[in-house]
């Protein structure tokens, strides 16, 4: 089975947490947009090298090796498309394909986990964030980053105001005016305001539950007074106080992405904030830099932030076994992401005590 992600997302890293038995193949293929003929050639050459190495160095049978590289050969005969680079991850049960813009070097590694450290820079150019688009007729929630936006399913999220308050039946009331005239009313402005408060409260409750344990910024899109009401009354700690104002009902996801990213990108950089937090907590027992301790904390869900020095993520042309340190750090990254941690690439020398990787703990 081949899984193709249209953009590199943190969801892909979370999925890799279960890939803990080798051999696992990681392939990073640069691509020249003007030479679509290169990609099939590189895929075929990669498949041949991997197949030979699996048999020679990793005790795989010829049949098993051929099955593992089959997705590469299938992709090689497909119609080539212009692009900017591609990553492939293969094990005996599954393959994952990810487009990666800006790859410049060919890398092929075989180890016991995917080399996801090389993916992290493509996910760290901006934070994962969440957008909730609210109107009285519809509610939509999206997970997004700098390059992509995708729908996010939220349990118990009401579909509309009527859906949220289906049990409410407004009995008409008699309203009298100074002239003596009277007419029937459905309850007036106070009822409508109370209904809206209850509706927004149910949306907030569902989002707070879905986002428990994360630090993802939440951007709100709604007409002005509804956006202000939701932001002011939300219990989610990381809600963004600048809203996208306007009715979102007929706004496509790409436009929501562009307008929400304009807000997120104007905020303080998440990597810088993460480094400041790691430095502030250094020596308190809330940070760890020993790789074995990081892995143990990641397995238990105790890691809140995972920070890696940029030198560990840099691509350089290479073919061979996955470096042991890179393997351990990729495992720690995958486990951390699977349990809801945020991860960032930072400049070398920025982490406490000059460490190359640091985890900030939740407890």
Q: What is the pLDDT of residues 277-298, one digit of tens each?
A: 999 999 999 999 999 999 999 9
pLDDT (0 to 100) of residue 4: 64
pLDDT (0 to 100) of residue 163: 84
Per-domain boundaries in the chain: 2-125+271-361, 129-264
pLDDT at 11 > cutoff 90? no
CATH class of 129-264: alpha beta
- Given pLDDT bands bounded at 50, 70 and 90, which one contains residue 247? very high
pLDDT (0 to 100) of residue 227: 95
Which residue shows structure tokens 């879905």? 210
When mean pLDDT is compared across 33-47, 96-110, 178-192, the lowest value belongs to 178-192
Residues 151, 97: Cα–Cα separation, whole Å: 20
* Mean pLDDT value across residues 93-109: 86
Residues of the chain above pLDDT 70, percent: 85
Between strands 24-29 and 86-90, the pairing is antiparallel
pLDDT at 6 > cutoff 70? no
Residues 322, 145: Cα–Cα separation, whole Å: 29
**Which DSSP category does 239 fall into?**
B
Q: Which CATH homologous superfamily contains domain 2-125+271-361? A: Ribosomal protein L30/S12 (3.30.1330.30)
Q: What is the pLDDT of residues 51-85, one digit of tens each?
A: 999 999 999 999 999 999 999 999 888 755 655 68
Q: Give 88's contacts (C-beta < 8 A, 6+ positions apart).
A: 25, 26, 27, 29, 46, 71, 72, 95, 96, 97, 98
Look up residue 71 and give its two tokens: 């997705």
3 state SS for 164-219: HCCCCCCCCEEEECCCCCEEEECCHHHHHHHHHHHHHHHHHHHHHHHCCCCCCCEE
Closest CA to 7 of 74, 77, 72, 86: 86
* Mean pLDDT value across residues 120-137: 82
Averaged pLDDT score across all residues of the chain: 85
pLDDT (0 to 100) of residue 14: 77
Is the overall model pTM greater than 0.85, yes or no? no
pLDDT at 353 > cutoff 90? no
When mean pLDDT is compared across 6-15, 23-32, 153-162, 329-338, the lowest value belongs to 6-15
């Amino acid at each position: 089975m081949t899984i193709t992600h249209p953009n590199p997302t943190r969801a892909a890293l979370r999925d890799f947490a279960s890939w803990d038995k080798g051999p696992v193949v990681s392939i990073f293929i640069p691509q020249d947009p003007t030479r679509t003929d290169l990609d099939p050639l590189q895929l075929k050459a990669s498949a041949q090298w991997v197949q030979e190495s699996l048999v020679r160095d990793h005790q795989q049978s010829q049949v098993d090796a051929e099955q593992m590289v089959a997705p590469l050969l299938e992709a090689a005969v497909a119609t080539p498309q212009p692009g900017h680079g591609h990553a492939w991850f293969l094990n005996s049960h599954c393959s994952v394909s990810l487009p990666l813009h800006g790859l410049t070097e060919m890398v092929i590694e075989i180890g016991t986990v995917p080399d996801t450290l090389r993916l992290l820079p493509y996910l760290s150019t901006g934070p994962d964030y969440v957008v909730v688009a609210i109107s009285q007729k519809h509610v939509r929630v999206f997970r997004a980053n700098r390059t992509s936006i995708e729908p996010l399913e939220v349990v118990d999220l009401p579909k509309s105001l009527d859906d949220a308050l289906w049990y409410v039946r407004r009995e008409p009331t008699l309203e009298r005016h100074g002239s003596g005239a009277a007419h029937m009313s459905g309850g007036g402005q106070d009822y409508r305001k109370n209904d809206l408060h209850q509706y927004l409260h149910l949306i907030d409750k569902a989002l707070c539950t879905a986002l428990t344990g994360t630090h993802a910024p939440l951007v709100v899109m709604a007409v002005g007074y509804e956006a202000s009401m939701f932001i002011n009354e939300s219990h989610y700690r990381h809600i963004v106080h600048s809203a996208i104002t306007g009715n979102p009902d007929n706004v496509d996801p790409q436009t929501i992405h562009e307008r929400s990213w304009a807000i997120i990108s104007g905020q303080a950089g998440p990597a810088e904030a993460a480094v400041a937090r790691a430095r502030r907590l250094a020596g308190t027992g809330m940070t760890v830099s020993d790789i074995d301790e990081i892995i143990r904390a990641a397995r238990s869900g105790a890691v809140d932030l995972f920070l890696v020095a940029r030198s560990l993520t840099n691509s350089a042309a290479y073919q061979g076994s996955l470096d042991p340190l890179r393997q351990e750090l990729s495992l720690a990254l995958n486990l951390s992401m699977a349990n809801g941690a945020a991860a960032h690439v930072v400049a070398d020398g920025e982490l406490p005590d000059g460490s190359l990787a640091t985890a900030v703990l939740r407890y």
